[in-house]
Structure 1
Amino acid sequence: MTRKPIPARRPIQVIRLVLWLLVAVAIAGTLALVFLAPGKKMTASAIGGPFSLVDQNGTTVTEAALKGHPSLMFFGYTFCPDVCPTTLLSASNWLKALGPDGDRLKVYFVTVDPERDTVPQMKAYLQAFDPRIVGLTGARDAVDPMLKEFRVYSKKSGEGDDYAMDHSAAVYMLDGNGDFVGTVDYQEDEKTAMEKIRRLLKG
């Protein structure tokens, strides 16, 4: 059986195809520049937003508290078996290593498990770490919007009172305007972490 020849594309079809490919390449290049460029600062509208929680002393804390100084912000929970205490210990060591400059850096520990992380529980837990670390908690309907604003992943795992919370592990770095500027990764090399934090303090 003789196959029919495949009709050749018309010149106008070829031109249209080439043009669409060029457009696709241009869009991909633009996105790469926006999201992958070294040192690219993500805007406040992308990560962060209004919130109203309470600290371990019962004092209301809002997004206004992030203004006027650089901050580190970590999301976790007090019943966390490893990631949270490890990160909070690292944060305590960073503050100590900064010396007097550590007083210019605010560190916030925001719960993803407000049902168990009451104000008294948060206060008792944070006594094991640097006293400058501020714990934030509140009702579930106050915590969830903040997690969404800051693009934080969290999910309950297990049943009963001994459930765990899967959650994002990076420490957020916020500048003096409260804008997100990068992260310190979980268990990142101490030298690299300190370089990032000192750059954050310099603005």
Structure 2
Amino acid sequence: MGGSNFYKSRAKMRDLIESLIRKSMAGMDLAMDKMFALQPETYLRYEERFSELARLLECLQVELESVDSWGELDRIQRRVYFLEERFEDIDSVLRKRPRRSRSRFSMDNLFRVSQGGPGRSRSANGTDENGLSLEEACEVLGIDMTAKLPEIRKKFRTLMKELHPDIRMGDRSKEGQMRKILAAYEILKQRQVTS
């Protein structure tokens, strides 16, 4: 494993989690000070969001103590960064300040990370790790190879709305198809950005 580097990285992750928990608690206090008397419903919404963030971070903190490999540490790090982004979303609205962002993340990577997988990669033969080529990606979305990004995005959103569990009364049976559509969209979007 990497010995001391691994333990240093784990300690940094522990510090980040503790910092985010403290910030979440401070956010709840600020919401209490600013809104409780005048806008109790809004305060309760903020309290719920910050409490949920703190709870998830505490779960990750416990999970972090049993981590003994770089892969597990990387998976927790990605989840912490996702929660950090969520914290920034909530906190920036509460404090009425511009949102600070670590980096952009793709929904494709979010699905992979949430299931313990690595981030996105491409093989030498031009296919995605899901085995989708450019032609197959176009077929999955039902568009031409010559489609531009706005058309690709519109088709992607339409398909995702049709298959989303919230629209289908909680039915998650189309989740596999959603992942395939998401992978196809990521391939086509990347092609548009690089061309």
TM-score, normalization: structure 1?
A: 0.22
Greater RCO, CA 8 A, separation 6+: 1
Higher gyration radius (CA): 1
More helix by share: 2
Output the TM-score relative to the length of structure 2: 0.22
- Greater strand content: 1
